[in-house]
Amino acid sequence: MKELIQARQISKHYGALQVLSEVQLEVAEQEIVAIVGPSGAGKTTLLHILGTLDQPDKNPSTSLTIDGQNTVQMSDKVLAAFRNKNLGFVFQFHELLPEFTALENICIPAWIAGTPKPVAAEKALELLATFGLSDRAAHKPTALSGGEQQRIAVARALINNPKIIFADEPSGNLDSENAAHLHELFFQLREERKCSFVIVTHNESLANRADRKIVLKDGKIIA
């Protein structure tokens, strides 16, 4: 399988505090990778850097190549457009905009990418149908259950057909039944949409089911 992500010598300091130290990893096409480790190990920071939401320390030997593009050398504007088109994100708290309907929330990344509104709406309706949420299209987030909100967030992450989904504790706010449904959905989407997942999780069953489990401790990969 082709490597979608190649990260080399990724370090990160916040002032004097070193959060990541010379991390190196790859993620292949259609691979599900779990990142685990104790709180404070640097998992979320690593996920944010891999997802281009944060920048690694500047270092001549540092590179982050995603789908053949060296993202470290991109301008902010180019990087933002690349991120919106190629990457999807799911967070622990769904981050849905409360004033928008479920349908509109799903459409937002497509609108940012310049997709015509009728085309975006059609794609969003297809995703709602896939997730069994067609009857929730006009609902605002507050009218949805926690499990429904998180599935809407996953649909939003998929609207631009990204090659990689980054998920930070995606089931951390869900009960065990909804968490199991969400995890199942990730594996189903990998088969149907041929995308990769990089998931930070404390959920052992999800981590053990992933194709690969990366253990981070004190900013370094130890397994």
CA distance 207 to 32: 9
> pLDDT (tens digit, 9 = 90+) per residue, 67-98?
998 998 888 899 998 998 899 998 877 689 99
**Residue range 102-137, pLDDT digits in tens:** 999 999 999 998 999 999 999 999 999 988 899 999
**26 in Cβ contact with 5 (< 8 Å):** yes
* E strands present in the chain: 3-14, 17-28, 32-36, 63-66, 69-70, 87-90, 164-168, 196-200, 212-217, 220-221
CA distance 130 to 191: 14
* CATH class of domain segment(s) 29-56+74-212: alpha beta
Tokens of 158: 């998929």
Under a CB-based contact definition with an 8 Å cutoff, are residues 198 and 164 in contact? yes
Average pLDDT (176-199) is 89
| Cβ–Cβ < 8 Å for 152, 76 | no
pLDDT digits (tens, 9 = 90+) for 3-53: 989 999 999 998 888 899 999 999 999 999 999 998 888 899 999 999 999
pTM: 0.92
